[in-house]
Structure formats: structure tokens, C-alpha cells
Amino acid sequence: MGTELTAATLTQLSYLVAAALFILGLKRMSSPVTAVSGVRWAGLGMLLATLVTLAFMHATPVNLTLVVAAIAIGGSLAWISGKRVAMTDMPQMIALYNGMGGGAAAAIAAVELYGGNETSVTHVAIAAIGGFIGSVSFSGSLIAFAKLQGLITKSVRFGGQKLVNLAVLLATLVTGVMIVAGLHSGPGMVSAFFALALLLGIAMTLPIGGADMPVVISLYNALTGLAVGFEGFVLDNAAMIIAGTVVGAAGTLLTQLMAKAMNRSLGNVLFSNFGETAGPAGAGVTGTQKAIEVSDAGVMLAFSQKVIVVPGYGMAVAQAQHKVWELCQLLIDRGVKVRFAIHPVAGRMPGHMNVLLAEAGVPYELIADLDEINAEFETADVALIIGANDVVNPDARTNRQSPIYGMPILNADRAKNVIVIKRGQGQGFSGIDNALFVLDQTRMLYGDAQSAVGHLIQAVKAAG
């Protein structure tokens, strides 16, 4: 009895320490300056929780060899993929890992529900709720991964889609209630419950456009956290409860921030076919794009007093962040004030541009978000847009026919001059024409971002 009590006490104390490390790590991840140490603190907490669980799991019948083998295989695959993945592929990797977390929570629920050893209705209900949320997160995240990876190139939409999704949701809830009530809790009913939940995740995500992926990723991150928290109650595991709750809460707040940045309510994101356009993609955009020679763009930048750089997914695709910082260092050495403007939904995941700039070594104090930087565009000699589109489209303020009308944007159009680095004259990822590109003060520098910025560096050096 004394030994068991000591083991239980040590386990709970260790879980408490692990939870504190999770929270500390998450807090430090909120800033690029401390993000790396935050990941390490959170990883240390996970290591502690895992080791303690393995050390004191003798009371539970389990094949320790299989557990260790699974951890070793999973850890090795994560290490290798993490080392090899390109920064441009990071969003789909995050989506995939979100899905794995949700799938793990659903697997725990499946073991409980198939086993039929539940002790109470509450226990069954919590397991079912966690299994439902985890399954939706798992299958939805896989579809998000496929979209980001280019395996699914079109959003699947059809008439009556909302009704079909609602029917799948209701069928899932009905089977879940029947399982909890014990009316039909056999393997067939449990299998139908999980199949419907997985189908719902697919059906929810298929109609969503690629431009809305930042919201989708943060939403499924929140769902995964909630699922883990629920299954923590099922297993009576304090570390899972706290970690899942923290991740779920953080993901929910991030989803709300992403939705606000795109001028959508959370309810609209969840239930209103987000990703569909509200009107003709190019409605109200007239005029022609005007090209600029790289030598002229270099002179314009070299003799500016203030330059605001707006990075976007085009910079990520070209892996041009290091060249961009090299250009900015050159301008700073000439006495030019340089700042970076980051929109909350720039790129394909929350914080995408911040990660790229941090990788290139850009000092954190030079990076500002939308609210901090917007008032400064009017005093900027040049706004340098590198692969960004919707987040600088002035139609969001003025054109009620635009699908992005009402979305907060970076006020790049209010700079004295605008230089846009873009691969061609086509529309951006969302398929919306950009009114910024045809304004009088805007000039287009066509080409791959890395190549174009490299030429700009030479042009600035040649400006004298």
C-alpha cells in the first residue's frame, strides 16, 4: 500500500511539473525571441510525462516492448521529417501533426468504447465526445494537408452541401447518444459512430478554399487539444487533461484571432461554407499593371528614408527570406529605416512569415503586426510587397463586391511608392484580383522573389 501510494503521488507530482512546463513553454512560444526555448521546455515536459508513465505503469497490463517500439518509430519519423521538411512545406506538416494528435485521442476513445469496460454513463459520454472531436480533427487535418500539399487542387462544392453535412452531423450525434445510453453499444454501432465522425471531418474541410487554411489549421489545433483533454479525463491522466486544455484554449483564441483578421465571426467559420466567394473575383478592378526595371527599383529603395517590407507566401515559395534580409541590411547600412509588416493570415499558417523571418535572422524589433504598423505606411517612401496579395488589397476597404470586403488589410496603398515583386500578372492563391497592383504609385517587378531580390541587391549597390 505504501509503495503504491508513493508511486501514485510521484506520478501526480510529475504530471503537475510536466503541465507547468507545457504552460511555460507555450507562453515562451508567443514571442519569436523565446520561441525556441519554449519548444524545448514543452518538450522536456512531454519527456517527463512519458518517462513517469512508463516507470509506473506496472499496475496496468500492457506490452512495454510495443509501447517503446511505437515511441521509437514515431520519434524517429518525426525527427527525420522535421529535419528534412522545407519551410514552404511547414504548414502542411503542422496540419498533419494536428491530425495525428486528434487521431491518437480518437484511438484512446475507441479502445474504451470497444472494450465495453466503462464504469458510468459520464465515462462513456466523455470518451465519446473526445472520440468525436478527435476523429473530426484527424480526417479534417488530413484533407487540409492534401490541399496544402497540392494533392487536392479544387474545393469540392455542390448544391445542398450544407444539408448533407448537417445530416452527417446529426447521424453522428444520434449514434453517439445511443452508445452513451447503452441502447446499441456493440462494435457495429461504435464503428458507425467513428466512421460518421471521420466523414464529417472530410465533408467540413473539402469545400474550404486554400486561402482560408490559416483558420482551418488553428481550428483543428484547438479541436485536437480539446479531444486530448477529454481523453485525459477518461484515463484519469492529469498531464493529458492540463496539456489538452491549454492547447485547446490557445487554439481557440488563435482561431478567433484568425477569423477576426479575415473579417469572419467564429460561427461563420464553423458553419457558413467559409472559403466560398461572395461575388466575381475581379469585380471593380480596372486598370493596367505597370512594370519597373530592377535598376530603377534599386535607386528608389537606395534613396528612400523609410521602407516597409510586406512578405507573403511568394517569399516562402522562393525561399527568399535570407536574400530579403540581405537587401534590408544593405538599406539599413545606407541609413534607410526598414520595418517588416506582418498580417495575421499572411502565408499558409498562423505565424508563417514570422517563422521565415526569424530563420533569416531578422531582429524581432523590426517586425510589426498589422495594428502596430498600419499608421506608418503614410510616412513610408516605399512599400515593398514580396509575394503578398489579399492582405494588401485595398478592395477590402472600398469594394463591396469583393469577396474580401471588410477584411482588415495592411495599408500598403497609402505609401508614397509601392513595388510589388510577383511572378506574373495572374491572380493570387485565392483567385482575387488586387486593386493595389493597378494604382498610379504601384510598379510591378516580375520574377521569382529570390532572383528579383538578388537583382535588387546589386541595383542598390550600384546606386552609389
Task: Give the tens place of pLDDT for each residue, 286-325.
Answer: 778 899 999 999 999 999 999 999 998 889 888 899 999 9
Residues 79 and 23 in one domain: yes
433 is catalytic: no
Phi and psi, residue 453, nearest 5° = -70, -35
Residues 221 and 349 in one domain: no
3-state secondary structure of 277: coil
* Residue 275: per-residue pLDDT: 44
Give a yes or no: residue 89 inside a domain. Answer: no
Catalytic residue among 212, 390, 395, 433: 390
Domain boundary at 242, 276, 310, which?
276
* Residue 382: per-residue pLDDT: 95
Residues 298 and 272 in one domain: no
Residues 200 and 345 in one domain: no
Give a yes or no: residue 289 inside a domain. Answer: no
Residues 76 and 120 in one domain: no
* Residue 326: per-residue pLDDT: 95
Give a yes or no: residue 282 inside a domain. Answer: no
Domain boundary at 245, 276, 307, which?
276
At position 163, the amino acid (one-letter code) is L
Give a yes or no: residue 91 inside a domain. Answer: no
Residues 246 and 121 in one domain: yes
Residues 255 and 300 in one domain: no
Instruction: Count the domains in the chain.
Output: 3
Give a yes or no: residue 121 inside a domain. Answer: yes
CA atoms lying within 13 Å on the CB side of residue 92 = 17
Give a yes or no: residue 93 inside a domain. Answer: no
The whole-angstrom separation of Cα 219 and Cα 102 is: 12
Long-range interactions of 32-40: CB distance < 8 A, separation 24+: 32/354, 32/355, 32/357, 32/358, 32/364, 32/367, 33/364, 35/358
Residues 227 and 343 in one domain: no
Beta-bridge partners for 341? 368
Residues 299 and 353 in one domain: yes
Show the DSSP H helices in 237-392 as ranges. 238-261, 266-271, 294-302, 313-318, 321-333, 352-360, 370-373
Residues 134 and 173 in one domain: yes
Residues 257 and 341 in one domain: no
DSSP state of 440: T
Give a yes or no: residue 126 inside a domain. Answer: yes
3-state secondary structure of 428: coil
Q: Per-residue pLDDT tens for 166-204?
A: 899 999 999 999 998 886 678 889 999 999 999 999 998
The whole-angstrom separation of Cα 307 and Cα 48 is: 47
* Residue 183: per-residue pLDDT: 64
Through-space distance between the first and last CA atoms of the chain, rounded to whole angstroms: 82
* Residue 280: per-residue pLDDT: 44
pLDDT beneath 50, residues of the chain: 1-2, 274-283
pTM: 0.78
CATH of the domain at 420: 3.40.50.1220
Domain boundary at 247, 276, 305, which?
276
CA atoms lying within 13 Å on the CB side of residue 294 = 18
Residues 106 and 79 in one domain: no
Q: What is each CA distance from 281 to 278, 346, 385, 409, 441, in whole angstroms? A: 8, 19, 21, 17, 23
At position 444, the amino acid (one-letter code) is M
Range of the domain at 11: 1-84
* Residue 431: per-residue pLDDT: 62
